[in-house]
Chains A and B, each alone.
Chain A
Amino acid sequence: EVVLTQSPATLSLSPGDGATLSCRASQSVSRYLAWYQQKPGQAPRLLIYDASYRATGIPARFSGSGSGTDFTLTISSLEPEDFAVYYCQQRSNWPPITFGQGTRLEIK
């Protein structure tokens, strides 16, 4: 099973700041990695698929990069609505599909 480790667990930033979230896989997942945003009481929303492609309707301030075992989600300038929990997910060596444990992005 591929274990995805996200860091940091919590990131405290202010609106307008840039954010960098990390996801590390226990073995190579090529580029088969996605990122999601989840707000309280809501379902996850797909942000990035296949490591670097923005999903439909996702603002350009969200970008993804990486391949193999190291991936990054970057938010260029935080808007108030971006404060949420972010998860990465792989489907390279599956089943099982696995998720990271999440990074909470909170307002400083």
Chain B
Amino acid sequence: EVQLVESGGSLIQPGGSLRLSCAASGFTVSSNYMSWVRQAPGKGLEWVSVIYSGGSTYYADSVKGRFTISRDNSKNTLYLQMSSLRAEDTAVYYCARWDGYNTGFDYWGQGTLVTVSS
């Protein structure tokens, strides 16, 4: 059974840093395109970042230079390192799997809440 479990969300002050984790089971993270998608309270979905199976990474302009996506193949885990956090980064962060062929994220985690506030 495919499962994605995020962790690491918390209340953090503006300018701070945080690392989110997404532990995968039932499939191999490094064989798929893995993304982070966020949702601000009461708002829609916003794509944040993707890491290809080959290791290439891409980011939304809103987080470029501040966030870094990575993975640990030995732990089958995806990460999002977030720095210089702003109030507008407050959101539930989801990790999601994309097989790289069909359009759509077919598996999602339950999400982890990041709140940026003083």
Write the nearest CB–CB distance from B52 to chain A, whole angstroms: 11
Q: Which of B46, B105, B106, B110 has the most CB of A within 10 A?
A: B105
Known: A43-B109, A95-B58, A95-B59. A87 touches B44 (CB 8 A): yes
The answer to whether A99 touches B104 (Cβ under 8 A) is: no
- Compute how far the CA of A97 lies from the CA of B61 in the bound complex, rounded to whole angstroms: 11
Write the nearest CB–CB distance from A48 to chain B, whole angstroms: 8
The answer to whether B50 touches A97 (Cβ under 8 A) is: yes
Known: A43-B94, A43-B110, A43-B111. A99 touches B46 (CB 8 A): yes
The answer to whether B45 touches A87 (Cβ under 8 A) is: yes
Please report which residues of chain B, range 70-98, place their CB below 8 angstroms from some CB of chain A when the two chains form the complex. 94, 98
- Compute how far the CA of A50 lies from the CA of B101 in the bound complex, rounded to whole angstroms: 10
The answer to whether B106 touches A89 (Cβ under 8 A) is: no
Main secondary structure of the interface of A (DSSP, over half): loop
Residues from chain A with a CB closer than 8 A to the CB of B44 are: 87, 99-102
> Number of contacting residues on B, CB 8 A?
22
The answer to whether A44 touches B45 (Cβ under 8 A) is: yes
A75 at the B interface (CB under 8 A): no
The answer to whether B106 touches A32 (Cβ under 8 A) is: no
- Compute how far the CA of A65 lies from the CA of B73 in the bound complex, rounded to whole angstroms: 38
Known: A87-B45, A97-B47, A99-B45. A46 touches B106 (CB 8 A): yes
Q: Annotate A79-95 by CB proximity to B: 1 below 8 A, 0 otherwise.
A: 00000000101110011
Tell me the B residues contacting A by CB distance below 8 Å.
35, 37, 44-47, 50, 58-61, 94, 98, 102-106, 108-111
Q: Can you list 10 residue pairs at the A/B interface with Cβ under 8 Å?
A: A36-B45, A44-B105, A44-B108, A46-B106, A50-B102, A95-B59, A96-B58, A97-B35, A99-B44, A102-B45
Tell me the A residues contacting B by CB distance below 8 Å.
31-34, 36, 38, 42-46, 48-51, 53, 55-56, 87, 89-91, 94-102
4 nearest A-B pairs in the assembled complex, by CB-CB distance: A34-B104, A49-B104, A43-B108, A97-B47
